[in-house]
Structure 1
């Protein structure tokens, strides 16, 4: 956790210790009456921090330990607030730059007063530290209260073991995936003569509650009698490798000695299994390390043997399968039919229907369960003894909050707790922070990472920026199936949190006093305990805050993070949130210009979002927010940025709307800027565009190129200005490319294609992502793209594509995602050769045929076939890459080709069913005469 300033486990303790060290440095070493107290605080808090980190891994604390933990964390927040405000006062605040004898004398007098105030505050904080420790010592009885996780864990049954004996009918639909896995394993065995001498392996992966263990057990039970050696082992979060190997050895019939070390156990197990046919299930593995030993012991050449592995972590599934030539089987959520059957069976003992009065309520409850069997089982068990419409409607309201007293719901919480406590402390903080977002909210990746950074949750590795580290955290949470990817366009752009997981996150967040929530239902009321102040607050829903105005008055001075997605009338004035780091006010319609008055007083503010509000003018002195890192003013009425914006030395991410105009001079001073969105080029002064190229850290730029901002009625003058802007902008773009620019997004208006696809357009050799959304007529693809050798993602819309173009794209060695939306092949079939696109994982292309071994790493294919343009071809859908996981096919034709369209649709359905990787398939057909799309068809699970 070294380097993480703020976490759910220790609060701001790390940040406080760092600031105490700085406060005791040269600048304040002569602060009489303060230094000794600060040294005392530093010593005491260091010891407290160690205890807090240990307590963070205990899932059930006694009441005294919990009280002590909460008081210590709250104390650390108060100490940091004291230090921050004191330093601001000592440095003279906003008027520190004034010169002259009188000004110096005034500052000296102010410092003397400030030191006296600091001394008094530090004395009070020191007394609180002493009092907190004495209380714990007074009431703790040694040996009576356990603060160790050992006692708690030893008295609990591992909930995963219970799943082994679940009846099959409790997971309706398990027979389909079970038979699918068995079929694929048998197919793999008979695919080649040599395959009978190789182990066959499947890694089942998915989030908590999908039934991975049950599915593995069903496969195991169905086929285990065919094997002479068999074993089923569960891996703990911190596995004992020796015990695991001993367990496997015992189950397969190999005796072991207690003196055997891990190396001996591996060697002995390998020798024993070498000529035997075995089946081994390794259940719920969390990290690659245990598999490195187990996989080494399970020899790859045992004839016809099978290994089944289950995990919540995609990386573990992929690495383990690749090591033994296996395949990954992603667990699917139950479809509507199977969800209903499971739900009805457990409540009404009938799989097909429920009483009519319960239909609407059951539909809404099942929507929230989202096809997760564990969620359906838990909720249906809760409702089985409460078969009244009143109770069902109550469940609809509270399904996203903890439901105590039900063993099935407690089981679900326990399963999620395993995932939670397996996370590093800093990643736990990032996960808990998702409780600040409303239910079913689509969370933009850029904004989420920006807020994590502002909160102090991110710990960057050497050579890694905070934003890059934040992206790594984001991907880790996706890989661990704790957040759902959403809006995938070559990369995951946003995410959602499943209701079941959000339920757990909210309960943990409230328990840890990490986030205080308010919503219209009052499920989590706005309140705080006597010992803990509100530090982070999320206001959700549509009710007014006026009735909470009196409470808000006392809460505001301590709130560091505020997220509001409702009418925020009771929040004003914002300047009263004097220690705020994050203000996320997206969609607060009551927010006006007046409410931003004096916002420069929020000297610690790092993140400000007024997205989607009625604000039309930013404060003229916004440049005084010297800690501001992220500013989002998209979808506001702001048309012009104040000149002081260029004084924001730490501003790294700036989100603006297309009508926003920048100051003519000074943008080059914002040297921390990394991300700039929706820059309308022709709406800016030429001097601004010249300085743009001096932003050496700019890594991502979104540009609107639309001539309607030129504003000249005279065509000649307009032409000259357009050419001038082209020259200046492309020069700056080249300079940015030489610095740090990795991502360029260009949205092109009508009648401006000449600029983008002219032969003299700069070759941006260092770009990793290029997206050109063409709003005009289709145009040809520029040849300079072949020089962008580092391109990983390429998206071009409304372009003509030739065979030569496809060859050019295939030669881009780093390319992983290609999207040619609404492209036109000019009536020709294009052929994907077997030597290009070696790293491509995602493709959206039209009218293409595949050669054998083409696109060998492709997982996601969106393909358009326009038979009315290119005619029929027997090679369509042949030689599809064996790695495919998903195929979206659009087949178009005119009325005479109706039969050909149907035949081709049937062909791809057959191809998908016989494909070695069984990809998920979606097909759509379109006959010109019908003027409508056919119903979407998906391959049955």
Structure 2
């Protein structure tokens, strides 16, 4: 299902399943379905054509038609899903289903017994009639003629202003500009004759064009010639080539363009530049194909020419080659200065009474220069009164109103949206249901997309799993700078990938506006001063409903027929905050996604009708104490996420009836001793389940498991199940992630019997049987390893670990068990030397080493790719071994972040101060200038757990 074509794509797949499935359809129904497929394909093609025309150029009747067809597709899908529920393969009778006969506003007849096959025949006939009516209106409104009209070009490109910014608007951009100059020019001299390329990457509005233009004007005196071209979203390559020639020599190439082919223009540019030292800016490249043509005109000479490109897409920057400079948002101080300069023509600041509201405004601007400048233009026209500035602050995220500057900002930001293919537009607008500043887990987002039907594995994606396709969608949005990566600090997520994101407030403002126009997500008002739920304010049909922060004190708003009619076709319901009164779940007749995340006061009464959500695919519950007994009724459930439960959850017996469950994610759950999971063949992810004998038996049959997270509650469990568990693992060749939480010394000899696809192994159990001398070849895929040792870390252990070819994250917690008085003299100087050669970790990006009684030293070429270093080591032993605190940070060329726990309680204060000073000097002297934090490891890990994550 897409914002462009509604549910048409998923409908086609479901009709195909009806044709080839084992449902015994009545005579003639299959032919009717085949006819419907053809009609849907035609309507889908028309909707895609409409989507290619700018919104302001579409006829109003065409807009109404496209909206009606999308809504019709949703209604049809609801009807088909209802039939599939009632005709379930297990033959279990489903009571209290809703009829969708007639498809349009006929969803209020409750019945207990479904004569499914007779009903679907009637439904198909009704569907056919409705689609025929839609096709007739398509002809009557001349939809196809309306969408082939050439779109009008903008009279003025809103991005042109970036080339003529005032000097005051470059506040905060001087630092990036100087770094780019250094990168471009540092090769000059004996080795600087080769062309240098640098790409400036970042989201729209960060100042890429402004910086690039400033660089051109600053550096052009050092070059023989220069030019600036803007490629734009839909480039006219011929005009771009003409512009290049015209800027290079206005007189010679004033009148020779007519009649020349593109390749002739390219040849003339190359001839002109062949013996020149040129500087050029190629601004706003959207597609790799555009660069592939333009670069043909730029000769590979040895005259020290420089090329600066700007783009919103990291993939384009990598295709261009050379250095990549990722432009970041302005700091708060620079944002403050820029806003002050634009409003008051001074950087001195704001009146005291406006300081707090100014802080909140800047927070929402998120360091985006374009947003700051736009908001400044609004504030400059307002009286210097806190009430007026509060209105501006409150309008951010809800629509900033009509203003020329605001309109230009939206046009610039919306370019990224309109560049997206239909499926990514859908995925992006789905983010509008989250409040600002929310950290969104990637897995929740992807599996919500899957549950809603946004992702299919047909066409070009055929052969990939739905999760793999969802990962690709997420990465595309990240690559296009429409979402921002967030580090949530989970050890199991240290694989070099992004596992959570946020949406910039200005992007959220845009998506909220677009979503409201399309009726895609409905955000319920959240003003506590208002009584009841303002249901009359919502559209006639709500498909996706989101509440945040606080529900009303009354449920009276749900009692009306209008309320139930508006909400009866909600497909996704998301609630975040203080739950005072949830709507009765019986309202949501076709719900697919239910997220009650981080909801306070969530009680059993809120879930009393839980078992009637027969279409539910994705369920996330926070702060619950137990699961309803009727959960087994949710026959289509794919994801059960209760990781934020407030206590240990005992799974009800009906849980094992969830035959289509793919993911079960929890903080701590237990399965009844008399139940087994052997029939839950769809399970791929099973997290934080207590180990029992029945579970062990069932695990052997769950050959589709990819992620397994087990809890062992006692040492007895460890002894009883160790061998059986290791034997069970050998049957799971597809297992990719294994996490063990144990109370004692349960240790898996993971290097001998590990599954061949294992990518992550995390265990808090102590290794006490000794350490393997060689790494098993089956561990070639291992990227994350977190282990504990019951003694010190021996040098030979490190040599063994260095044999892991794909390792990106390594965490070692080593306990030195002997008392200090028992340590031999030579052991007091013990330190771990991480050296090059056999012990050079090729891929390691993050290293955590915790041992209060050992020293540490990185030798040259030890860890070339290491970016994040977290240490807890002995200051005294390092001094004893080396004579000073020098752990060799300069030998880690890729280092970006350092965290150090010096064990203050065990080391004299004077030595701690000296050690901190030495480490601080080492990071300051490092060419990357990595960030540095001192503190407690335990405090650091616990603080990460307090992030507000959805």
Q: Normalising by the residue count of structure 1, what TM-score does the alignment of the two structures yield?
A: 0.84
**1:537 aligns to what?**
545
**SS at structure 1 position matched to 2:682:** coil
Alignment partners' CA distance in 1, 2:698 and 2:31:
50
Alignment partners' CA distance in 2, 1:823 and 1:861:
19
Of the candidates 782, 787, 806, which is equivalent to residue 791 of structure 1? 782
Distance 1:435 1:790, change over 3 A: same
Distance 1:899 1:437, change over 3 A: closer
Alignment partners' CA distance in 1, 2:333 and 2:280:
33
Per mean C-alpha deviation after superposition, the further-off stretch among 584-593 and 643-652 is 584-593
**2:655 aligns to what?**
645
**C-alpha displacement of 1:897:** 3.6
2:763 is equivalent to residue 772 of structure 1: yes
Alignment partners' CA distance in 2, 1:502 and 1:659:
36
Alignment partners' CA distance in 2, 1:756 and 1:521:
54
**1:804 aligns to what?**
796
**SS at structure 1 position matched to 2:192:** helix
Q: Is the 8 A contact 1:279 1:305 kept in 2?
A: yes
**1:47 aligns to what?**
42
2:186 is equivalent to residue 187 of structure 1: yes
**SS at structure 2 position matched to 1:235:** strand
**C-alpha displacement of 1:920:** 5.2
**2:834 aligns to what?**
831
Of the candidates 399, 412, 415, which is equivalent to residue 412 of structure 2? 415
Alignment partners' CA distance in 2, 1:334 and 1:823:
44
Of the candidates 4, 8, 31, which is equivalent to residue 13 of structure 1? 8
**2:946 aligns to what?**
none
Residue by residue, what CA displacement relative to the aligned partner does 1:618-638 show, whole Å, maximum 9, x if unpaired? Answer: 324x33422111112330556
**1:169 aligns to what?**
168
Alignment partners' CA distance in 1, 2:796 and 2:567:
63
**1:553 aligns to what?**
564
Distance 1:196 1:638, change over 3 A: closer
Q: Is the 8 A contact 1:842 1:859 kept in 2?
A: yes
**C-alpha displacement of 1:396:** 2.7
**2:638 aligns to what?**
629
**2:701 aligns to what?**
694
**C-alpha displacement of 1:72:** 0.8
**C-alpha displacement of 1:343:** 1.0
Distance 1:746 1:250, change over 3 A: farther
2:495 is equivalent to residue 503 of structure 1: no
May I ask how many residue pairs the two structures share in their alignment? 877
Residue by residue, what CA displacement relative to the aligned partner does 1:149-191 show, whole Å, maximum 9, x if unpaired? Answer: 8434x1342222221111121131222221222123222335x
**1:330 aligns to what?**
326
2:310 is equivalent to residue 310 of structure 1: yes
Residue by residue, what CA displacement relative to the aligned partner does 1:595-628 show, whole Å, maximum 9, x if unpaired? Answer: 54554443322112223235x24324x3342211
Alignment partners' CA distance in 1, 2:815 and 2:274:
55
Per mean C-alpha deviation after superposition, the further-off stretch among 889-898 and 376-385 is 889-898
Residue by residue, what CA displacement relative to the aligned partner does 1:206-254 show, whole Å, maximum 9, x if unpaired? Answer: 2222111111111111101211121212222233444434433443349
**1:727 aligns to what?**
723
1:584-623 aligned at under 5 Å gives the runs 584-589=595-600, 591-597=602-608, 599-614=610-625, 616-620=626-630, 622-623=631-632
Alignment partners' CA distance in 2, 1:422 and 1:428:
9
Alignment partners' CA distance in 2, 1:345 and 1:822:
54
Distance 1:525 1:223, change over 3 A: farther
**SS at structure 1 position matched to 2:807:** coil
Distance 1:389 1:140, change over 3 A: farther
Distance 1:570 1:44, change over 3 A: farther
RMSD of aligned Cα (Å)? 3.7
**1:747 aligns to what?**
741
Q: Is the 8 A contact 2:339 2:373 kept in 1?
A: yes
**SS at structure 2 position matched to 1:451:** helix
Q: Normalising by the residue count of structure 2, what TM-score does the alignment of the two structures yield?
A: 0.84
**SS at structure 2 position matched to 1:789:** helix
Q: Is the 8 A contact 2:889 2:923 kept in 1?
A: no
Distance 1:609 1:243, change over 3 A: same
Distance 1:357 1:110, change over 3 A: closer
Alignment partners' CA distance in 2, 1:396 and 1:511:
22
Residue by residue, what CA displacement relative to the aligned partner does 1:276-306 show, whole Å, maximum 9, x if unpaired? Answer: 2111112122233333333444344432211
Distance 1:841 1:281, change over 3 A: farther
Of the candidates 792, 805, 810, which is equivalent to residue 813 of structure 1? 805
Per mean C-alpha deviation after superposition, the further-off stretch among 509-518 and 884-893 is 884-893
Alignment partners' CA distance in 2, 1:795 and 1:297:
52
1:472-483 aligned at under 5 Å gives the runs 472-483=472-483
Q: Is the 8 A contact 1:690 1:728 kept in 2?
A: no
**SS at structure 2 position matched to 1:541:** strand
Q: Is the 8 A contact 1:891 1:924 kept in 2?
A: no
Q: Is the 8 A contact 1:704 1:748 kept in 2?
A: yes
2:87 is equivalent to residue 76 of structure 1: no
**1:159 aligns to what?**
158
**2:351 aligns to what?**
355
Alignment partners' CA distance in 2, 1:863 and 1:267:
58
Alignment partners' CA distance in 1, 2:85 and 2:597:
29
Alignment partners' CA distance in 2, 1:110 and 1:757:
53
Alignment partners' CA distance in 2, 1:112 and 1:625:
18
Of the candidates 823, 839, 844, which is equivalent to residue 840 of structure 1? 844
**SS at structure 2 position matched to 1:204:** strand
Distance 1:289 1:347, change over 3 A: same
Alignment partners' CA distance in 2, 1:328 and 1:285:
14
**SS at structure 1 position matched to 2:762:** strand
2:686 is equivalent to residue 676 of structure 1: yes
2:489 is equivalent to residue 492 of structure 1: no
**SS at structure 2 position matched to 1:197:** coil
Alignment partners' CA distance in 2, 1:922 and 1:117:
65
Of the candidates 216, 220, 245, which is equivalent to residue 220 of structure 1? 216
Q: Is the 8 A contact 2:46 2:144 kept in 1?
A: no
Q: Is the 8 A contact 2:25 2:117 kept in 1?
A: no
Distance 1:810 1:312, change over 3 A: farther
**2:523 aligns to what?**
517
**SS at structure 2 position matched to 1:463:** coil
Alignment partners' CA distance in 1, 2:125 and 2:936:
81
**SS at structure 1 position matched to 2:761:** strand
Per mean C-alpha deviation after superposition, the further-off stretch among 306-315 and 271-280 is 271-280
Extract unaligned runs of 5+ from structure 1.
1-5, 99-108, 711-717, 933-941
Residue by residue, what CA displacement relative to the aligned partner does 1:678-720 show, whole Å, maximum 9, x if unpaired? Answer: 1222xx2x1221221321111111223342xx7xxxxxxx4xx
**SS at structure 1 position matched to 2:568:** helix
**C-alpha displacement of 1:403:** 1.1
Alignment partners' CA distance in 1, 2:416 and 2:286:
9
1:549-588 aligned at under 5 Å gives the runs 549=558, 550=560, 551-566=562-577, 571-588=582-599
Distance 1:345 1:828, change over 3 A: same
2:949 is equivalent to residue 908 of structure 1: no
Residue by residue, what CA displacement relative to the aligned partner does 1:439-458 show, whole Å, maximum 9, x if unpaired? Answer: 21111222221111111112
Q: Is the 8 A contact 1:618 1:641 kept in 2?
A: no
